[in-house]
Every structure is written in C-alpha cells, then in structure tokens.
Chains A and B, each alone.
Chain A
Amino acid sequence: MQKYYSNITQIVGDVITVEAENVGNMELAQVITRRGTSLAQVIRLDGRKVFLQVFSGSRGISTGDKVRFLGHPMRIPTGELLLGRIFNGSGSPLDGGPALDENLVEVGGPPVNPVKRIIPEKMIRTGIPMIDIFNSLVESQKLPVFSIAGEPYNELLARIAIQAEVDIIILGGMGLKYDDYLFFKETLEEQGALSRSIVFMHTAADPIVECLLVPDISLAVAENFALAGERVLVLLTDMSNFCDALKVISITMEQIPSNRGYPGDLYSQLASRYEKAVDFDAAGSITILAATTMPGDDVTHPIPDNTGYITEGQFYLKNGVIEPFGSLSRLKQQVNGKTREDHRTIMDTMIQLFAEYRETLEKQAMGFEMSAWDRKLLKYGNLFEKKMMSLEVNIPLEKALDLGWEILHECFSPEETGIKRSMIEAYWPGTHEG
C-alpha cells in the first residue's frame, strides 16, 4: 500500500515541493489533482522536502493535492510493439493505440564503457554531394543541423532518414510545430517507413517538462534496439527547445546561470544525451541526427556552441544549402580513405579553391578589378554552387567525384589546383584516355 502525501508547501514554476519520507532521488511520483493525474520526477531532496518536476506543468495544482511516490525512476516500454506507434513526451500513446507496459527499461541509463565501442566505419550515403564528398556521414555519428528558424532542416533530416539504410527510425520531436509533425508523419508514411519508425512527440503546445524527457526516452528505446543488433537512427528536432526547457528548470531551481541564463552544466546535459550515439562491439548502433536552431544565426550562442563541442560535427544549413564553411563531419576520415582514392584530394582542393572564390567575391563587392585568376575563381565558384551545393542535386558519391574533376577541368589548369601530380595523371579529365 503506497502512501499519499498531501502537504505541498511550495509551487514555483513547474516544480512543487512536498514533505515526504523515504523518497529516492530521481524517483517518479504521481500528482493527483482535480484536473487529473500527472507524473512528476524528484529533482532534489533536502531533509523532508522533496522537489518534484511536474510533467504536465504546475498549472492548477493546489496545496491540498495528493502526491504518491512510485518507488522507481522513469521507465519506458521497449521492443517491437512500439514500431509504427506515436507517443507523447511522457510515453503515453497519441495515436489511439493501446498503452504499453512491456519490457520496461530505465530512462537515462549508465554510459557505455568506452572500451566496448568500436571505431565507426560504415558510411551512410545520402546522395547529397555536400555531405557525401565534403562531410561524409557515418553510422553511429552524432550530428546536428545548425540553422536559423525557417530553414528546411526538417526536410533535410527526413530526406537523410529515408535514404539511410537503417533498420529503425526514432523521431523525437521537441516543441515541434504541428505542421512539421504532420510533415514527418506523411513523409515516413509515403516512403513506407512508418512501420519501422517510432515517434515521441512534444509539440509547442505541450507542457515544457515533457520536452525535457523526449531525448531520454527516444534514446533509451533506441539503445534497447541497438543492443539487440538493430541499426537505429534517432532524429531529434529541435534540440534548442530542449536546451531552453533546461534553462527554465534550472532558473526555477535557483541555479547560478553561467552564460546568457543557461545552466553551467548545459554541456554535460547535452553530452549525456548525444553520447548515447554508439557503435556497439558485437551489436547494433545508434546514429543521432538533430536540429539545432541558432538564435540570431549566432554559432557562438551557448546552445550551438556547447552542441558543437560535443557532437561529431555539424551541417550548417544556410539559405537553403549546406554551407561548406561551418559544416564539419569529424568522422569523415574514418570512411573517405576507403571510398575512392581521389576522394580526399577532391574534398580538400575544391574547398580550398572555394575559400579563395569567397575572397574574390568580397573583392568584387568592393569594386576591385578582377584579375585573370579572379575570373577563373568566379567561374569555378558559380559552377560549384550550382552543381555541388544545391540540395536539388541527388547523385551517388562516385558521380559527384567525377563531377568535381569536370568542374576543376573546366575552370583551371592542373597546377593551378595545387593537386599533386600523381593524382592529376590518374584523374585529370583528358589525361589518361589521351
């Protein structure tokens, strides 16, 4: 028989304080109000005072309401039965299907022992040259799309998800607009991927605490599948909403903020989620693609800044294209040495020349005379933008590399590219076939 406690002594933000005994840190509780029952989680203990973060928010909670502790931390059902289903941030069904309580696993479990990880080496082909050539995506990578609100980051995530050869797709939506939710659902449905997908949805209209739970639940479910040998892709959009929810809670708990109101442990909080991306020794993998919207397109803002320090690179989406500068895949070198011999050469050369093109653009904008070399760079830059950068392009890596050589050939003489001669002899168009 579990005990009910009814002396709620404080309600601040979405955190309530109740006097109780024998309560475990992080334990779950039910708060029973006139409007219904909500789950809550212990976030601090001080003598008899128990601080609870209420999932559905504190609105309408009265000091006379009852609290019952459940004796366990947050758990989530896992397994095949979840496939094709849609849940909210606390794990309750949103699709009219039955609630599940099988194979419960703890949310936010312990970290993987680094020695049980393996070096990732499987490239995920996307058909997008800006990714495949310049910043290859690798299975088990954790990688956000940085962009300002309004960029087509959800479209990009969905496109990669559909194209990637993974067993299971888990979508964790945080503060998502309902339209975006429908977009994901329809895309997965159209591509016949819904039956191997699981959706955890928090929309902009839902309680803020539930937003905090989405990454943890999504990743706990993913981890369970990965341990069973499945290759899981987790999409988290938008992680900036998650960070903002963290900020709200930490201010409520009177923690000293470190930077623009964000808590000092923002890095550790993000890391404990992103580090769930893994390639298990002798089991499956988890790849995490996230969306991180940057307030004011400012990459030094604490959210993208802390994210960038944790993730294995980022795709910087700007004006509808993936910008070569600011985009990075830290794992690209695990795979791009094994694709085609000229892959790295094309990657390095085209980017260095593109950097020069950008400088020439600046000169041009200042009204300076264009030298012969400048004109070559301008021609090159235009071709690069049209044929490589546009997200309309959808070609396999090998075709994209060939295209790279063609563009270079069209604009430059071999030595102008700085490419070493052995490579030129093997790949420069017109050299080998005579």
Chain B
Amino acid sequence: MSTDGDGSIKVVPVRHVGRWVGVAAALVVVAMIVHTLLSRLPTGQRACQGTGASRVCHAVTEWRFSWDIVFHYFTTSEILHGLLITLELTVIAMAVGIVLGMVLAVMRLSPNRVLSGSAWTYTWFFRGTPVLVQLLVWFNIAILYPRISLGIPFTALSFFSVHTNTVFTPLEAACVALGLNEAAYMSEIARAGLLSVDEGQVEAATSIGMVRRQTLRYVVMPQAMRVIIPPTGNEVISMLKTSSLASVIGVIELLGAATNIYSANYEIMPLLLTASLWYLVVTTILSIGQFYLERYFGRGALRTPPPTPLQRMRHDLAGIVAKFPSRRGLAGAVER
C-alpha cells in the first residue's frame, strides 16, 4: 500500500481498455462518414485559367452528395408546402389516433362484454390489414358509397345527400385512413398504460367517494401517462414518416413534393436527401418535446427526477473545470 506524503491513500481508477478500443473504432467510422459526405467527384471537365505559359488547368469537381442542390431546394415553396401537408397529416392522424385509442382502451377494459368485444374487434381489424391497403380503400370509398346521405335506415327518407368525392378529398381520405389505423395501435399502448397503474390507487380514489369517471380522469390517466408517453412519441415519429404513404393516393406532402420536382429535373438523390433532412429536423424537435413531456408526467415517480440535457451538460462542464486544479493539487482531493 502506497501513501502520499500527507498520509492519504491514492485512488487509482479502473482502466477500461475495451472501452478505449471501442471509442477508437467509433471515431474511425465517424471519420469515414464525414469524409464521404464531404467528398467531391470529378465531372470529367477541365477548367483553365490564364493564357499562354501561365495557363493553368484543373479537373472540375462537384459534391458527391450535391449539397448545393440539396440546400437550394430545402427552402423552396414547393418543398415547404409539402412539409406543411406532412405536418398537418401527422397532427390530425395522431390526434384522431390518440383520442380514439384512449376511448378504445377504456372500452376494452370495461366490464361490459359488448364494449370490450367491439374494441377488440376494431383493433383486430385495423391492426390486421396493411395501412397502405387502408389508404387505398378510403381513397376509393366512393366506389362503395358514391353518395353520402343521412336518413332513416330501411326507408326512403333522406335528410341530405352529397357526392362522396366532392366532400372527401385525398387529404381527408389520408387523415381518416392514417388516424383510424393509428387508433388501433394507440389503444394497445393506452391499455398497457392503464393496466400499469396499481389497483390500490383506484381503491383509494373510490374510498374517498370518487366515481369511476373521476377516478379514471384524475388518478389513473395521469399515472398511466408515464407509461403511455414514450411509445406514443415513437408513434408520432413513425406517423411522420408513414404519412409519406399518402403520396400514393396523390397527396402532395413532403415526399410527394420531392418526387414531383425530381420527375421533372431528374435530380433524384438530392431531392430525396432534401426530404430526408426535413424528416430528421422534425424528428429531432419531436424528440426534444418528448423528453420534457416524459419528465412532466414522471413527476412523483422518482425521488430525484433525472437531469435535463442542459443540466447534465452544465454539470459535466463544471466537472471538467473542477478537474484541472485537483490534478495539480494533492491527492486526497478526490471527494472534492
């Protein structure tokens, strides 16, 4: 046992050899990616400057990933309009999905067999068929129902009647199809959340005289949220991208706008990249929102809530700053 001059014992941290090898490998891969992203290709042309003896020529190159074209289209009105439609689709479909999903989950857990059976059947049907098929069916719904009318069944009485295609646009068909499909998934997520709440919570609420609806709203739902939010965040991000399927039925959302442009100018890769970059931007924003939502609904669940990324960064910086003087100082300053 070796001790320092002042008698305190020196702490030697464990060396993580494997971890350093991993870090080195990761750095190499990152370097390769950055290199290829920023690489340039020769166009086959040469550019020359000057005349006579001072004439210099060099091969003309261009970005492998055509970044100039990617960023040129990034903010064009066509792409931005597509982005707006994508956001609209995502928001409406998720709103339908979440509200209907919650209703279905509560129905599914109801002691009433008819209610729970209907909810089960709904989920079975909408989860059991491809979402692309559902999109096409809603898009073509006028084949089954050329007119929408409200009347009394089995009689000729009708209060109003309109052509389906005049009120049901492709965008609306996409909202309905994606929303109803999402509800099936959301209902399972919500059900898992509701089941995760301890039975004792319901008993306690009941014992102070709350009725079933109040218990659900004020006691069960808020606690179920902690379990419901993370997979719902997943669903939102997934919906953002699934909404691109709507381009199949002629909705010009983000991907639709990109394909429209490249079918005219053949800049296929740059425009796919433009669309991808926008999807990444929105996903990033959504992830940040999800973090704070989770924190809000997780209150009370842990004795000390986890730090926000900002708090963690500040803590890490403080740690690094604090490290330097202690290197020069005496050992034994370990506990700081």
B is a partner of A = no
The interface of chain B, by Cβ under 8 A from chain A, is none
The interface of chain A, by Cβ under 8 A from chain B, is none
